[in-house]
Amino acid sequence: MRVGYLDCFSGVSGDMFLGAMLDAGLQLDDLREAISALPLSGYSLTADKVVRAGIAATHAIVEVTDEQPTRTLLDILGIVAESSLPSPDKDAAAAVFRRLAEAEAKVHGTTPDEIHLHDVGAVDAIIDVVGAVSGLRLLGVRGLYCSALPTGSGEVQGPHGTLPVPAPATLEIVASADAPLRSSPARGELVTPTGAAIVATLAGFSRPEMTIDRVGYGAGSRDPADRPNVLRLWLGEAAPDKGTRPMLLIETNIDDMTPEMLSYVHEKLMASGAADAWFTPVQMKKNRPATMLSVICAEPDEETIARLLLRETTTLGLRVRPVHRWEAERETLEFESSVGWAAIKIKRLPGEPPQISPEYESCKSLAAATGLPIAEVYRIVEQEAKSLHI
């Protein structure tokens, strides 16, 4: 699986993200064409080769050529929705802007729909976000990861005056994603709200095992003498899964809950990180029929799952034992089929061709939209997915 890792040793911003992708092989014309799907004008996108403290990098420049209005979240979501971007790109870009608006609204004591997005609602921020989402797709990146974010120090000038670094909106975004921070003595704003929202929404904060085939450097606008003001992007393939991983099996017997209640608990378990959960009919003491609830989860999720079971069920205790699970490498991919955007699950085993399975929810939506039987949608999606050479 193609993955990317963002080494934010000098911070991250929207233009640094675009520059790093361009430096790693993304073609500027391809990026421009992807962004042109937006019903937006009054800007130009260029890129320059620069040097920052001895490191060659690419500086992406979004120049606003026409005066732009102040936009709200609904304005920006409308621009994204009206575009001809692929549906996954629309969803990802909208998620980034919702995170931005929620952070700004919390800082200013209002709601996301009411907040007027100044810097982050400008054309260059919209291009940065949509460019980041589209660029990752064009590079074939299926998984994005990010390092801890440097705090920076000092102050920054915002629309409402002088603000401490990290800026309040940036700090809210970081907190919303449980993103790790690291202390940095560097003066100035190293992580912008737009940069923080992009990585908080699109990336996981860990460094994957991977083989690297390309490295790109995206330059920031400033060129301080004490450090290279660049964002480093590693591109490569995720290391093959070793096949097994340690898990925990948590079980409890329940004889006084209705099927509706148990179904609710199952939904809560899956939403809280359980790898799997199931029910087994059992016989308890005094010959009472009951249900054994079994849950598989990763070791770090034990407390979350255990507390959920103790809170949401009538059980007085849980059994926990270690197990291990063999797993196939898998990924989910969306593509534009002849009946619309479809999601498929791909299972990979060493030395064998990939196995493709259409996703039920995706096929259900397509069946409703087209009027075709769901079995026919499954057949079309599976057949066309096999021609993608994945």
Structural domains for the chain: 2-238 (no CATH), 244-326 (3.30.70.1380), 329-388 (no CATH)
pLDDT of 158 > 70? The answer is: no
Measured in whole angstroms, the distance separating CA 325 from the mean position of its chain's CA atoms is 26
How high is the pLDDT of residue 387?
84
- pLDDT tier at 219 (50, 70, 90 boundaries)? very high
Q: Report pLDDT digits (tens) over 275-291.
A: 999 999 999 887 889 99
* 3-class secondary-structure state, position 101: helix
Q: Residue 166, preceding bond cis, omega within 30 degrees?
A: yes
Rounded mean pLDDT of 33-43?
93
**CA–CA distances in Å: residue 10 to residues 63, 192, 213:** 23, 12, 22
Beta strands in 30-178 (DSSP E): 43-52, 55-64, 71-72, 116-117, 143-146, 149-150, 155-158, 161-164
How high is the pLDDT of residue 270?
94
Q: Report pLDDT digits (tens) over 297-353.
A: 999 899 999 999 999 999 999 999 999 888 888 888 888 899 999 999 999 887 788
Stretch (H or E) spanning 326: strand 319-326
Residue among 203, 145, 35 at smallest CA distance from 47: 35
Rounded mean pLDDT of 213-221?
95
How high is the pLDDT of residue 157?
72
Residues 6+ apart with CB under 8 A from 80: 38, 90, 93, 94, 97, 130
Residues 6+ apart with CB under 8 A from 337: 366, 380, 381, 384, 385
How high is the pLDDT of residue 14?
95
Give 214's strand partners. Answer: 235
How high is the pLDDT of residue 94?
94
